[in-house]
Structure 1
Amino acid sequence: MIDTAILLAAGEGSRLRSAAPYKPLCPVGGRPLIDHAIGGLAQAGIRQVVVVLGYGADRIEAHLAATAWPVAVHTVRVADHREPNGVSVLAARAQLAGRDALLAMCDHLVDPELYRRVAQAGTGGGARLAIDRRIDSDWVDLDDVTCVRTEGDCIVAIGKGLAAYDCFDTGVFAIGPALFAALASLASPSLTEGMRVLAAQGSASTLDCSDIDWIDVDDQPALDKAEAWLHRLSTKRAAAA
């Protein structure tokens, strides 16, 4: 089982600026997004988290340093947060020393079971993406979500605005040397482009996690949905106690 995670938290998050100056510190259910992510990774059995920072790095790093975490937390920085997200992935490469890792997004609120399932499944020798086949879900912003087309468990197309797709990218991956090599081969390395390189090689696979909830907290409407989701969870837990 994979026991190390890379958590991408370098972006500017301008669409959530009204809720928080720095997206990773945006409160959802009374806790910053980054706390949800790191806590969820710990619940899933991850032992070490490498957080990639860029915009607002000093403030976010201070928050991380002031918090007692149930896992080891390390930070790395990108020189320019405006670079494609593959640059953030590559920034964590040296921390892994050739090991596989779980890759997650700080702005995705995720049931920890999704992290655990992907960590157990591993990379399959290339890279594995957790997908959601609930393509009629009203929790997803169709103008922003990354769409995926599959054949069996293999990715054949991935990107925003695909004309034909059968699932969504949840933002949770199992990655290793193959994806790092693919990203390093690109002039402007985005995660989607790196996955396209592996898909062309037949080494980009999927893991169906359609039974597990997640949401990309990218703007105020998504934040409202995330708050409602957490409220329902807390009500359900209180009733079961």
Structure 2
Amino acid sequence: MITTAVLLAAGEGSRLRAAAASKPLCPVGGKPLIEHAITGFAAAGLARVVVVLGYEAEKIEAHLASRSWPIAVETVRTPDYKQPNGVSVLAAEATLAGGEAVLAMCDHLVDPALYARVAQAGAGDGARLAIDRNIESDLVDLDDVTAVRTQGDAIVGIGKHLPDYDCFDTGVFAIGPGLFAALNGLASPSLTEGMRVLAAAGTALTIDCSDLAWIDVDDPAALGKAEDWLRAA
């Protein structure tokens, strides 16, 4: 089982600026998004998280240092938070020393059981993406979600506004050396492009997590849905 997580928390989060100056510190259900993620990793049985920071890094580092956490928390900084998110993933590569990790997004609220399922599945020869086949879900923003097309457990298409898809990208991956190699080979690396490289090689795999809840808290409308979801839980 994978025991380390990588949490991407580097972006500006401009669409949530009205709720919080820093998206990772945006409160949802009385607790900042970054705390939901870290405590979720701990509940899933992970022992360590590497948080990748960029925008408002000092403020987030201070917040992390002020808390006592149930797992080991480390931080690294992306060289340029305005670059595609693959650059932020690569910032954590050295900390993994060739090992695997559960990769997640700080602005996603996720049932810890989803993290645990991905940690158990592992990355295989490339990477494995947790998918949601509930394509009619009212928790998903169709204008923003990354759509996925599969054949069996293999990814054959991935991207925003994909015309033909059968599931959604939940933002949680099992990653390892295969994905880092793909990202290092791209001039402007994004996670989606890295997964397309692996898909072409047949090593971009999926794990079905349609039975587990998640929501991308990317704008005020999604924040309101997330608050309602937590109250109903």
TM-score by length of 2: 0.99
Tell me the residue number matched to 2:226.
226
| Aligned equivalents of 1:197, 1:78: Cα separation in 2 | 22
Query: Could you tell me the percent identity over the aligned residues?
Result: 74
1:110 pairs with 2:110: yes
| Aligned equivalents of 2:125, 2:79: Cα separation in 1 | 30
Tell me the residue number matched to 2:73.
73
| Aligned equivalents of 1:108, 1:8: Cα separation in 2 | 10
1:146 pairs with 2:166: no
| Residue 54 of structure 1, CA deviation | 0.2
Letter of the structure 1 residue corresponding to residue 44 of structure 2 = A
What stretches of structure 1 of length at least 5 have no aligned partner? 234-241
| Aligned equivalents of 1:39, 1:228: Cα separation in 2 | 20
| Residue 80 of structure 1, CA deviation | 1.5
| Aligned equivalents of 1:158, 1:48: Cα separation in 2 | 29
Letter of the structure 2 residue corresponding to residue 51 of structure 1 = V
| Aligned equivalents of 1:163, 1:128: Cα separation in 2 | 22
Partner deviation per Cα, 1:133-182 (whole Å, 9 max, x = no partner)? 00011110000000000000000000000000000000000000000000
State whether residues 2 and 100 of structure 2, in contact with CA within 8 Å, keep that contact through their aligned partners in structure 1.
Answer: yes
Q: How does 1:1-241 map to 2 (within 5 A)?
A: 1-233=1-233
Letter of the structure 1 residue corresponding to residue 171 of structure 2 = G
| Residue 78 of structure 1, CA deviation | 1.2
Partner deviation per Cα, 1:115-144 (whole Å, 9 max, x = no partner)? 000000111221000000000111100000
Letter of the structure 2 residue corresponding to residue 192 of structure 1 = T
Letter of the structure 2 residue corresponding to residue 168 of structure 1 = F
Name the SS for the 2:183 alignment partner.
Answer: helix
Letter of the structure 2 residue corresponding to residue 31 of structure 1 = K
Name the SS for the 2:165 alignment partner.
Answer: coil
| Aligned equivalents of 1:215, 1:32: Cα separation in 2 | 15
Query: C-alpha root-mean-square deviation of aligned residues, in Å?
Result: 0.4
TM-score by length of 1: 0.96
What stretches of structure 2 of length at least 5 have no aligned partner? none
| Aligned equivalents of 2:176, 2:81: Cα separation in 1 | 23
| Aligned equivalents of 2:48, 2:164: Cα separation in 1 | 37
Runs of 4+ in structure 1 deviating by more than 3 angstroms, as ranges, are: none
Partner deviation per Cα, 1:102-126 (whole Å, 9 max, x = no partner)? 0000000000000000000111221
State whether residues 79 and 91 of structure 2, in contact with CA within 8 Å, keep that contact through their aligned partners in structure 1.
Answer: no
| Aligned equivalents of 1:45, 1:88: Cα separation in 2 | 24
Name the SS for the 2:222 alignment partner.
Answer: helix
